[in-house]
């Protein structure tokens, strides 16, 4: 870490973007990404994920933006030399070979030819494309293009890597390989910021996530913060037992309440000591416990929670950004 950069690879506030035509793609984003972590930005298509990355890369101009990337003001061109970028829907020229593309991107990044040669060999190896190095991109599958795309994002040995839908169109084996590469980058001390509309992708690799919906962050935190806070005991009884009566019994002895969901008693606490009185009370009343375990929500559960409209309790229409009248 260079001096004065602080703990955050990204520290953003009030990031807003209204496209010409009035689409409010981002409506005041606050987001922090810690150095050296894998951060996942999750959201349905149209949520604003690519818009945010493009602002960071200075590909588009924000309507408003405060904050820093690698300790420097967002928009600072010099910082981009330390950032790698895999754009979404990238379309590198079909007539280039994988190796030529990497030379091209490296040359653009002012990396000297003698340094490029070795680096390109390593990167092609890393993304398992060595055998295809001198074949034209035009002959590649989507998954192979994504591998090469990943390699080009790393040519400048960046401190921060921004990956926009890295597993888009990639088969399960390719997705696993990409996840392994992301983990490897983290182990090398890099910060990885990735976008995905696929929950399962993020769950497996990210330490911190944010859920973006219609240009707003609905939820963010480390996976353990988000999940542990919502973890709680569940108790299942034998089918003959009267669940409503069981719930009433437990309700008298636990703090924080108990709910009945799909014939399971759902307790708010994940503390084993607090559950013992519930078990005692149930047993005293003649109930038969068949299962008792700590339930942890998945990222999908968090996502569904995030998309529920707090007023109606119904899932909000996800996706489309809100359009405002210009002027
Ligand atoms: P995501 O990457 O999460 O799918 P985007 O950032 O691509 O979302 O898009 C967010 C919203 O902004 C969408 O409603 C999209 O249609 C709109 N949008 C994206 N790019 C442009 C553009 N260049 N001009 C106008 N609207 C755009
Ligand atoms: Mg996108």
The pTM of this model reads: 0.86
Q: Is residue 107 part of a domain?
A: yes
Which pLDDT belongs to residue 257? Answer: 87
Q: Is 61 in the pocket of ligand 1 (CB under 6 A)?
A: no
Count of structural domains, the chain = 2
Residues 89-99 pLDDT 10s: 999 999 999 99
Which pLDDT belongs to residue 326? Answer: 43
The answer on 102 and 250 residing in a single domain is no
User: Would you place residue 5 in the very low, low, confident or very high pLDDT band (cuts 50, 70, 90)?
Assistant: low
- Ligand closest in space to the Cα of 43: 1
Q: Is 46 in the pocket of ligand 1 (CB under 6 A)?
A: yes
Q: Which domain holds residue 241?
A: 231-295
- Name the pairing type of β-strands 64-69 and 258-261: unpaired
Which pLDDT belongs to residue 310? Answer: 66
Which pLDDT belongs to residue 318? Answer: 53
Which pLDDT belongs to residue 323? Answer: 57
Residues 154-210 pLDDT 10s: 999 999 999 999 998 888 888 999 999 999 999 999 999 999 877 777 788 999 999
The answer on 266 and 140 residing in a single domain is no
The answer on 93 and 172 residing in a single domain is yes
Q: Is residue 320 part of a domain?
A: no
The answer on 264 and 195 residing in a single domain is no
Task: Give the distance (Å) from ligand 1 centre to CA of residue 46.
Answer: 6
Nearest CA to ligand 1 atom 22: 19
Last residue of a domain, one of 174, 193, 225: 225
Q: Is 79 in the pocket of ligand 1 (CB under 6 A)?
A: no
User: Would you place residue 320 in the very low, low, confident or very high pLDDT band (cuts 50, 70, 90)?
Assistant: very low
Say if residue 284's pLDDT is above 60.
yes
- Ligand closest in space to the Cα of 47: 1
Q: Is residue 318 part of a domain?
A: no
Q: Is residue 309 part of a domain?
A: no
């Amino acid at each position: 870490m260079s001096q004065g950069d602080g703990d955050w690879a990204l520290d953003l506030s009030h990031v807003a973007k209204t496209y010409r035509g009035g689409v409010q793609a981002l409506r005041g984003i606050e987001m922090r990404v810690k150095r050296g972590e894998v951060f996942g930005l999750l959201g349905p298509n149209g949520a604003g994920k690519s818009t945010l990355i493009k602002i960071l890369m200075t590909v588009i101009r924000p309507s408003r933006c405060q904050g820093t990337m690698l300790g420097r003001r967002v928009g600072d061109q010099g910082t981009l030399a330390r950032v790698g970028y895999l754009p979404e829907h990238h379309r590198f020229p079909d007539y280039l070979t994988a190796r030529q593309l990497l030379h091209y991107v490296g040359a653009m990044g002012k990396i000297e030819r003698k340094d490029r040669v070795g680096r390109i060999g390593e990167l092609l190896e890393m993304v398992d494309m060595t055998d295809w190095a001198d074949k034209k991109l035009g002959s590649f599958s989507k998954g192979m293009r994504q591998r090469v795309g990943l390699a080009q994002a790393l040519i400048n040995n960046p401190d921060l890597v921004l990956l926009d839908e890295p597993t888009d169109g990639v088969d399960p084996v390719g997705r696993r390989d990409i996840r392994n590469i992301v983990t490897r980058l983290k182990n090398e001390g890099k910060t990885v910021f990735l976008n995905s509309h696929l929950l399962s992708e993020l769950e497996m690799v990210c330490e911190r996530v944010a859920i973006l919906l219609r240009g707003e962050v609905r939820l963010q935190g480390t996976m353990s913060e988000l999940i542990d806070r919502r973890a709680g005991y569940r108790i299942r009884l034998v089918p003959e037992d009267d669940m409503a009566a069981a719930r009433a019994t437990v309700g008298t002895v636990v703090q924080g309440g108990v709910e009945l969901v799909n014939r399971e008693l759902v307790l708010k606490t994940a503390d084993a000591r607090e559950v013992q009185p519930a078990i005692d009370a149930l047993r005293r009343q003649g109930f038969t416990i068949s299962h008792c375990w700590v339930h942890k929500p998945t990222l999908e559960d968090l996502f569904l929670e995030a998309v529920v409209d707090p007023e109606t309790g119904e899932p909000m229409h996800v996706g489309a950004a809100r359009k405002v009248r210009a002027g």
